Amino acid sequence: MRNLDTDAIETFQNLAIELPSWAFGNSGTRFKVFGTPGTPRTVEEKIADAATVHRFTGLAPKVALHIPWDVVDDFGALRSYAADLGVDLGTVNSNTFQDDDYKFGSLTHTDKHVRQKAIDHHIRCIEVMNETGSRDLKIWLADGTNYPGQGDIRGRQDRLAESLATIYQHIGDEQRMVLEYKFFEPATYMTDVPDWGTSYAQVSALGERALVCLDTGHHAPGTNIEFIVAQLLRLGKLGSFDFNSRFYADDDLIVGAADPFQLFRIMFEVIRGGGLDTGSPVALMLDQCHNVEEKIPGQIRSVLNVQEMTARALLVDTDALADAQDTGDVLGANAIFMDAFYTDIRPDLAAWRAERGLPADPMAAFAQSGYQEEITAARVGGTQSSWGA
Amino acid sequence: MRNLDTDAIETFQNLAIELPSWAFGNSGTRFKVFGTPGTPRTVEEKIADAATVHRFTGLAPKVALHIPWDVVDDFGALRSYAADLGVDLGTVNSNTFQDDDYKFGSLTHTDKHVRQKAIDHHIRCIEVMNETGSRDLKIWLADGTNYPGQGDIRGRQDRLAESLATIYQHIGDEQRMVLEYKFFEPATYMTDVPDWGTSYAQVSALGERALVCLDTGHHAPGTNIEFIVAQLLRLGKLGSFDFNSRFYADDDLIVGAADPFQLFRIMFEVIRGGGLDTGSPVALMLDQCHNVEEKIPGQIRSVLNVQEMTARALLVDTDALADAQDTGDVLGANAIFMDAFYTDIRPDLAAWRAERGLPADPMAAFAQSGYQEEITAARVGGTQSSWGA
Amino acid sequence: MRNLDTDAIETFQNLAIELPSWAFGNSGTRFKVFGTPGTPRTVEEKIADAATVHRFTGLAPKVALHIPWDVVDDFGALRSYAADLGVDLGTVNSNTFQDDDYKFGSLTHTDKHVRQKAIDHHIRCIEVMNETGSRDLKIWLADGTNYPGQGDIRGRQDRLAESLATIYQHIGDEQRMVLEYKFFEPATYMTDVPDWGTSYAQVSALGERALVCLDTGHHAPGTNIEFIVAQLLRLGKLGSFDFNSRFYADDDLIVGAADPFQLFRIMFEVIRGGGLDTGSPVALMLDQCHNVEEKIPGQIRSVLNVQEMTARALLVDTDALADAQDTGDVLGANAIFMDAFYTDIRPDLAAWRAERGLPADPMAAFAQSGYQEEITAARVGGTQSSWGA
Amino acid sequence: MRNLDTDAIETFQNLAIELPSWAFGNSGTRFKVFGTPGTPRTVEEKIADAATVHRFTGLAPKVALHIPWDVVDDFGALRSYAADLGVDLGTVNSNTFQDDDYKFGSLTHTDKHVRQKAIDHHIRCIEVMNETGSRDLKIWLADGTNYPGQGDIRGRQDRLAESLATIYQHIGDEQRMVLEYKFFEPATYMTDVPDWGTSYAQVSALGERALVCLDTGHHAPGTNIEFIVAQLLRLGKLGSFDFNSRFYADDDLIVGAADPFQLFRIMFEVIRGGGLDTGSPVALMLDQCHNVEEKIPGQIRSVLNVQEMTARALLVDTDALADAQDTGDVLGANAIFMDAFYTDIRPDLAAWRAERGLPADPMAAFAQSGYQEEITAARVGGTQSSWGA
Strand partners, A63: A19, A89
Q: Residue C106 phi/psi, 5° resolution?
A: -125, -85
The pLDDT tens digits of the residues spanning C183-240 come to 999 999 999 999 999 999 999 999 999 999 999 999 999 999 999 999 999 999 999 9
Q: What is the pLDDT of residue B331?
A: 98
Which of B35, B185, B292 is closest, CB to CB, to A29? Answer: B185
Closest CA relative to residue D113, chosen from D105, A89, C42: D105
Are A18 and A289 contacting, i.e. CB atoms less than 8 angstroms apart? no
Strand partners, D139: D179
- Cis before B68 (ω within 30): yes
Are D356 and D13 contacting, i.e. CB atoms less than 8 angstroms apart? no
Residue A382 region by backbone torsions, left for phi larger than 0, else alpha for psi between -120 and 50, else beta: left
**What mean pLDDT is reported for chain C?**
97
Extract the runs of DSSP E, i.e. beta strands, from chain D. Answer: 17-20, 62-67, 88-94, 136-140, 144-145, 176-180, 190-191, 210-215, 238-243, 283-286
Give yes or no for C343 touching A (CB within 8 A). Answer: yes
What is the distance between the alpha carbons of residues B117 and C261, in angstroms, rounded to a whole number? 36
Q: Once rounded to an integer, what is the mean pLDDT over residues B119-146?
A: 98
Chain B residue with Cα closest to C151: B325
Has residue D3 got a pLDDT over 90? no
Q: What is the pLDDT of residue A389?
A: 52
Question: D196–A194: do the CB atoms touch at under 8 Å?
Answer: no
Has residue B184 got a pLDDT over 70? yes
Q: What is the pLDDT of residue C6?
A: 84
Chains in contact with C, where contact means 3 or more Cβ–Cβ distances below 8 Å, are A, B, D
Substitution target from C225, C289, C330 for chain A, most A beta carbons within 10 A? C330
- The radius of gyration of chain D from alpha carbons, rounded to an integer in Å, stands at 21
CA D63 to chain centre: 11
Which of D265, D326, D328 is closest, CB to CB, to A148? Answer: D265
Q: What is the pLDDT of residue D384?
A: 96
What are the residues whose beta carbons fall under 8 Å from the beta carbon of A132, sequence distance 6 or more? A65, A75, A78, A79, A89, A92
- Is the pTM higher than 0.90? yes
Give yes or no for B321 touching C (CB within 8 A). Answer: yes
Chain B residue with Cα closest to A221: B221
Give yes or no for D279 touching B (CB within 8 A). Answer: no
Residues 8-27 of A with CB under 8 A from D: none
Chain B residue with Cα closest to D261: B259
What is the distance between the alpha carbons of residues B115 and C257, in angstroms, rounded to a whole number? 40
Q: What is the pLDDT of residue D76?
A: 97
CATH code for the structural domain at D6-316+358-378: 3.20.20.150
Question: B331–D293: do the CB atoms touch at under 8 Å?
Answer: yes
Contacts of B222 in chain D (CB under 8 A): 221, 247-248
Buried b (16+ CB within 10 A) or exposed e, D285-315: bbbbbbbbbbbbbbbbbbbbbbbbbbbbbbb
The pLDDT tens digits of the residues spanning D109-164 come to 999 999 999 999 999 999 999 999 999 999 999 999 999 999 999 999 999 999 99
Q: What is the pLDDT of residue B388?
A: 72
The pLDDT tens digits of the residues spanning C305-345 come to 999 999 999 999 999 999 999 999 999 999 999 999 999 99
Question: A301–C330: do the CB atoms touch at under 8 Å?
Answer: no
Helices first, then strands: H and E counts in chain A: 14, 10
The pLDDT tens digits of the residues spanning C93-138 come to 999 999 999 999 999 999 999 999 999 999 999 999 999 999 999 9
Question: D29–C249: do the CB atoms touch at under 8 Å?
Answer: no
Q: What is the pLDDT of residue D174?
A: 97
**To the nearest whole percent, how much of chain A has pLDDT over 70?**
99
Give yes or no for B44 touching D (CB within 8 A). Answer: no
CA B347 to chain centre: 27
Question: A293–C331: do the CB atoms touch at under 8 Å?
Answer: yes
Has residue A321 got a pLDDT over 60? yes
Return the H-helix or E-strand segment holding B348.
helix B346-355
Question: C233–B330: do the CB atoms touch at under 8 Å?
Answer: no
Closest CA relative to residue C293, chosen from D101, D30, D145, A342: D145
Contacts of A289 in chain C (CB under 8 A): none
Q: What is the pLDDT of residue A5?
A: 82
Tell whether the torsion through CA atoms of D347, D349, D352 and D356 is positive or negative. negative
Minimal Cα–Cα distance from B255 to chain A, Å?
Answer: 11
Contacts of A226 in chain D (CB under 8 A): 153
Q: How many CB atoms lie within 10 A of CB D79?
A: 17
Substitution target from A325, A331, A342 for chain D, most D beta carbons within 10 A? A325
Q: Once rounded to an integer, what is the mean pLDDT over residues B344-369?
A: 97
The pLDDT tens digits of the residues spanning A215-228 come to 999 999 999 999 99
Substitution target from C34, C327, C331, C372 for chain A, most A beta carbons within 10 A? C331
Closest CA relative to residue A371, chosen from A49, A86, A20, A34: A49
Has residue B357 got a pLDDT over 60? yes
The pLDDT tens digits of the residues spanning C46-83 come to 999 999 999 999 999 999 999 999 999 999 999 999 99
Residues 360-379 of A with CB under 8 A from C: 363
CB-based burial of residue D50 (10 Å sphere; 0-12 exposed, 13-18 middle, 19+ buried)? buried
Q: Give the relative orientation of helices A75-84 and A112-132 as an angle to the nearest 10 degrees.
A: 40
Question: C294–A330: do the CB atoms touch at under 8 Å?
Answer: yes
User: Beta strand pairing status for A17-20 and A62-67?
Assistant: parallel
Extract the runs of DSSP E, i.e. beta strands, from A150-221. Answer: 176-180, 190-191, 210-215
Confidence class of residue C4 from pLDDT cuts 50, 70 and 90? confident
DSSP A349-366: HHHHHHHTTS-SSHHHHH
Which of D248, D260, D261 is closest, CB to CB, to B222? Answer: D248
Chains in contact with B, where contact means 3 or more Cβ–Cβ distances below 8 Å, are A, C, D
Are C50 and C316 contacting, i.e. CB atoms less than 8 angstroms apart? no
The pLDDT tens digits of the residues spanning A102-152 come to 999 999 999 999 999 999 999 999 999 999 999 999 999 999 999 999 999
Minimal Cα–Cα distance from C144 to chain B, Å?
Answer: 11
Q: Residue C1 in 3-state DSSP?
A: coil
Q: What is the pLDDT of residue D175?
A: 98
Are A360 and A353 contacting, i.e. CB atoms less than 8 angstroms apart? yes
Contacts of C100 in chain D (CB under 8 A): 34-35
Chain A residue with Cα closest to D144: A227
Give yes or no for A261 touching D (CB within 8 A). Answer: yes
Q: Residue C92 phi/psi, 5° resolution?
A: -100, 125
ipTM value of the model?
Answer: 0.97
Has residue A154 got a pLDDT over 60? yes
Give yes or no for A346 touching C (CB within 8 A). Answer: yes
Q: Residue D70 in 3-state DSSP?
A: coil
Question: C330–A293: do the CB atoms touch at under 8 Å?
Answer: yes
